[in-house]
Amino acid sequence: MPSLQSLRGMVDLLPDAIGLWQHVEASAREHFRRAAVAEIRTPLLEVTELFARGIGEATDVVGKEMYTFLDRGERSCTLRPEGTASVVRAAIQHGLLSQGPQRLWYGGPMFRYERPQAGRQRQFHQIGLELLGFADARSDVEAIAIAWDLLADLGVGGLALELNTLGSPDDRARYRGELVAWLEAHRERLDPDSQQRIATNPLRVLDSKVPDTQTLLAGAPTLADALCGESHERFARVRQGLEALAIPFELNPRLVRGLDYYSHTAFEITSSQLGAQATVCGGGRYDGLVQQLGGAPTPAIGWALGMERLVLLLSQAAHVSAPAAVPDLYVVSRGEAAEALALPVARRCRASGLVVELDGSGAAFAKQFRRADRSGARFAAVIGDAEASEGLAVLKDLRGERPEQRLAIAALVDVLRQLLARREPVA
């Protein structure tokens, strides 16, 4: 019988890789804590209408990429392709917005049926920030600053911030008419996907990755020319706020993001660490989404970073590594009485906060010592039947810097803590 394999685009995260993921998650959690941003967790599975209404039926995500099916109750359900719509739905459903503005973050798997490639899978993971109920341009700057500082703190190299404004709905309505007229006049020179988008989602043509289309679009009208005075002033405040924080940015009038709910500020943070510019974080303002999903009119801004691409960047940076997950103590035992005592000893040490790996193999001492060395632990507690009968353990320095010490098991925790507290960090 052939062995079973994971589905294409669904990747296992193995123990030797998980440390870097945990490092990123812990760093993000700490940055959110400092910024007084609270965590929210939403279901992986939502009603399909949430994304059709929130993201937009004309988008590639809804039209081509979602995992959608009927459940046993004949309800159309979708594995979430992004996090913002779910967070907004939860905020509306549970009345969070009636309690005032909400500063929220989320993390977890998302699902899109795309072509798998390095840093992009069909089950992928995001960490995201949502500031709900904040209208001032300062909230745009704060959201960007939190993302920038997190990525810089993680050691991501070659960071660049691309910035644009999508204006108000009225601005975009004026611009849409101008853009559609221009695109129709140049239809024959557009790639097939862009031709199709003229009728469904013309702004997404600006995001085309086809080289010939990109060259052609250099002559297209820009959204900046359609902005009203208020939108211009708002965008100027965002730029001034970023300059005051010394966060460099480049204006990109073709940056439109891929989802329909964005308005005003749109941004992407890229890295050149892998040679070509790669987006690691993107987001923007979405003032109409809460009302679109059934809530009261509520301004909001947010972003999401892709874990797979970020971890890929960090793993290829020689100076970045996750903290080594090594035990403080490795417990070696052999013999019936010794093995019966080993687990209580390990449990007692763990309860004191120490990291303890227990060898439960019952193999010869030599084999257990080899595994202890490979674990990276500084110390081993060695228990044989003779030690067990006396309530003792032999504390062995696996680096050979201290002589072996026979001591009462009751004293093991205190002695080990003292040794670990005063030793120099091991390189």
Domains and CATH numbers, the chain: 15-168+228-315 (3.30.930.10), 329-422 (3.40.50.800)
Cα–Cα distance for residue pair 383/362, rounded to 1 Å: 12
Note the pLDDT of residue 259: 56
Element of type H or E holding 268: strand 263-271
DSSP 44-99: SEEEHHHHHHHT-TTSHIIIII-EEEE-TTS-EEEE-S-SHHHHHHHHHHTTGGGG
Is residue 423 scored above 80 in pLDDT?
no
Give residue 277's pLDDT. 60
Q: Which helix (H) or strand (E) holds 139?
A: helix 137-154
Please state the rounded mean pLDDT for residues 370-396: 95
Give the model's pLDDT for residue 174. Answer: 87
At residue 177, what are phi and psi to the nearest 5 degrees?
Answer: -60, -45
Question: Does the pLDDT of residue 182 top 80, yes or no?
Answer: yes
pLDDT for residue 401: 85
Mean per-residue pLDDT for 247-272? Answer: 86
Of the CA atoms within 13 Å of residue 129, those in its CB half-sphere come to 30
Please say whether the dihedral angle defined by the alpha carbons of residues 52, 54, 56 and 60, taken in this order, is positive or negative. negative
Answer yes or no: are the C-beta atoms of 287 and 231 closer than 8 Å.
no
Q: What is the largest CA-CA distance in the chain?
A: 92
Which tokens belong to 405?
């010490």
In angstroms, the CA 290 to CA 95 distance is 12
268-315 pLDDT tens trace: 999 988 666 689 999 999 999 999 999 999 999 999 999 999 999 898
What pLDDT is attached to residue 421? 87
Taking alpha carbons only, the member of 323, 386, 339, 275 closest to residue 24 is: 323
Report the distance separating Cα 154 and Cα 347, nearest Å: 34
Six-digit token pair at 410?
């009751």
Closest CA relative to residue 109, chosen from 8, 11, 6: 11
What is the reported pLDDT for 426? 37
Q: Which residue has the tokens 């279901």?
A: 43
User: Which one, of 44, 55, 57, lies nearest residue 111 by Cα?
Assistant: 44
Contacts of 330 (CB under 8 A, 6+ apart): 356, 357, 359, 371, 372, 375, 377, 379, 380, 381, 398
Locate tokens 């040794």: which residue?
Answer: 419
Residue 44 has pLDDT above 50, yes or no: yes
- The number of beta carbons lying within 10 Å of the beta carbon of residue 226 is 19
Please state which of the ranges 42-46, 86-90, 276-280, 354-358 shows the lowest mean pLDDT: 276-280
For 47, counting Cβ atoms within 10 Å of its Cβ (0-12 exposed, 13-18 middle, 19+ buried), the class is: middle
Beta strand 45-47 with 76-79 is antiparallel
Give the pLDDT mean for 231-260.
90
- The region of weakest confidence among 142-146, 227-231, 242-246 is 227-231
Residue 258 confidence class, pLDDT cut points 50, 70, 90: low
Closest CA to 157 of 25, 299, 316, 27: 316
pLDDT at 318: 53
- In tens, the pLDDT along 97-120 reads 999 999 999 999 999 998 888 878
CB 329 within 8 A of CB 347: no
- The pLDDT of residue 257: 67
Q: Contact, 416 vs 349, CB < 8 A? A: yes
Give residue-wise pLDDT tens across range 191-200: 888 888 888 7
Distance CA 122, CA 81 (A): 9
The DSSP bridge partners found for residue 356 are 329
**Nearest residue to 147 via CA among 119, 127, 120, 167:** 127
pLDDT band at 84 (very low <50, low <70, confident <90, very high): very high
CB-CB contact of 152 with 277 (8 Å) = no
pLDDT at 235 over 80: yes
User: What distance, in Å, lies between the first and last C-alpha atoms of the chain?
Assistant: 47
Percent of the chain with pLDDT over 90: 69
Mean pLDDT taken over the chain: 91
Q: Which residues in 157-244 belong to E strands, given as ranges?
A: 159-165
Three-class SS of residue 398?
coil
Question: pLDDT confidence of 216, banded at 50, 70, 90?
Answer: confident
**Closest C-alpha to 206, from 255, 270, 263, 169:** 255
What confidence category does residue 427 fall into, taking pLDDT thresholds of 50, 70 and 90?
Answer: very low
Query: Residue 205 and residue 179: Cα distance in Å, rounded?
Result: 10
Per-residue model confidence (pLDDT) at position 218: 84
Tell me what pLDDT residue 207 has. 74
Environment class of residue 16 by beta-carbon count within 10 Å: exposed (0-12), middle (13-18) or buried (19+)? exposed
Confidence of residue 186 (pLDDT cuts 50, 70, 90): confident
For residues 165 and 235, the answer to whether their CB atoms sit within 8 Å is: yes
